[in-house]
Chain A
Amino acid sequence: DTEVTQTPKHLVMGMTNKKSLKCEQHMGHRAMYWYKQKAKKPPELMFVYSYEKLSINESVPSRFSPECPNSSLLNLHLHALQPEDSALYLCASSQGSQSSYNEQFFGPGTRLTVL
């Protein structure tokens, strides 16, 4: 199984809502990532988890809260988002996070719209 799955595919939420994005992989990968991609722009790294510990936070606002409950699961909790946070949120995984050559496997993304 070389797949990264993300749920939901689409999410519409108001600025006062709390929601969560979910990502799952069963490849035994020990590094997992969240990226944000605005329309017609390249993906931008948000967070990196290595062995279930947060290793990189790219100065992401606290209204985005990542969580890695186990080595297969990665969540992104959303609270009090702004309309400019509307984007495609991509999850990825790789065997490890420290190697320069490990490929990252990406999920299809969750398209988030904040009203």
Chain B
Amino acid sequence: DAKTTQPNSMESNEEEPVHLPCNHSTISGTDYIHWYRQLPSQGPEYVIHGLTSNVNNRMASLAIAEDRKSSTLILHRATLRDAAVYYCILRFTGTASKLTFGTGTRLQVTL
């Protein structure tokens, strides 16, 4: 199974942009890149997903490298409520029902 690598933790100041990196050098051509986050004492929450092109939604943007070996989740203005563990996950065609979580990045947001 293709794996993802993320930094263990990152810090950001409130109202600053945050770029959360993810490496997935063994990604297959049909693997979707998903991001979920888990706020303290809550279940994970879907953030965004993409295949090849950059994606935007109301929560974040996803920038995917041209060779698809890495991606970056962008929070445009971090707030204290964005403090969470962010998981970058590859979803494989054929075993699509699986969400295999890696260790994720713990984002701390300070005033």
Which residues from chain A sit less than 8 Å from chain B, CB to CB? 4, 31, 33, 42-45, 48, 50, 55-56, 90, 92, 94, 97-109
- Asked if A107 and B43 make an inter-chain contact with CB atoms under 8 angstroms apart, the answer reads yes
What residues of A have a CB within 8 angstroms of the CB of B98 in the complex?
45, 48, 56
Q: With A100-B96, A106-B43 given, name 11 new contacts (CB 8 A).
A: A4-B43, A45-B100, A50-B97, A90-B43, A92-B99, A94-B97, A97-B97, A98-B96, A101-B49, A104-B99, A108-B42
- Of the residues A42, A45, A103, contact of B46 by C-beta under 8 Å: A103
Q: Report Cα–Cα, A101/B45, bound state, in Å.
A: 14
26 A-B pairs whose Cβ atoms sit less than 8 Å apart in the complex:
A4-B43, A33-B99, A42-B101, A42-B103, A42-B104, A43-B99, A43-B101, A45-B98, A45-B99, A50-B97, A56-B98, A90-B43, A92-B43, A92-B44, A97-B96, A98-B96, A100-B31, A100-B32, A100-B91, A101-B32, A101-B49, A101-B91, A102-B96, A103-B34, A105-B46, A108-B43
Known: A43-B101, A45-B98. A100 touches B92 (CB 8 A): yes
User: How many A-B residue pairs lie within 8 Å, measured between CB atoms?
Assistant: 65
Q: Report Cα–Cα, A111/B96, bound state, in Å.
A: 27
- Of the residues A43, A44, A50, A102, contact of B44 by C-beta under 8 Å: A43
Q: How large is the interface on B (under 10, 10 to 19, 20 to 34, 35 or more residues)?
A: 20 to 34
What residues of A have a CB within 8 angstroms of the CB of B38 in the complex?
43
What residues of A have a CB within 8 angstroms of the CB of B17 in the complex?
none
What residues of A have a CB within 8 angstroms of the CB of B42 in the complex?
108-109
Q: Report Cα–Cα, A56/B100, bound state, in Å.
A: 13
What residues of B have a CB within 8 angstroms of the CB of A101 in the complex?
32, 34, 49, 51, 91
Return A24 CB to nearest CB of chain B, in Å: 14
Residue of B nearest to A56 (CB): B97
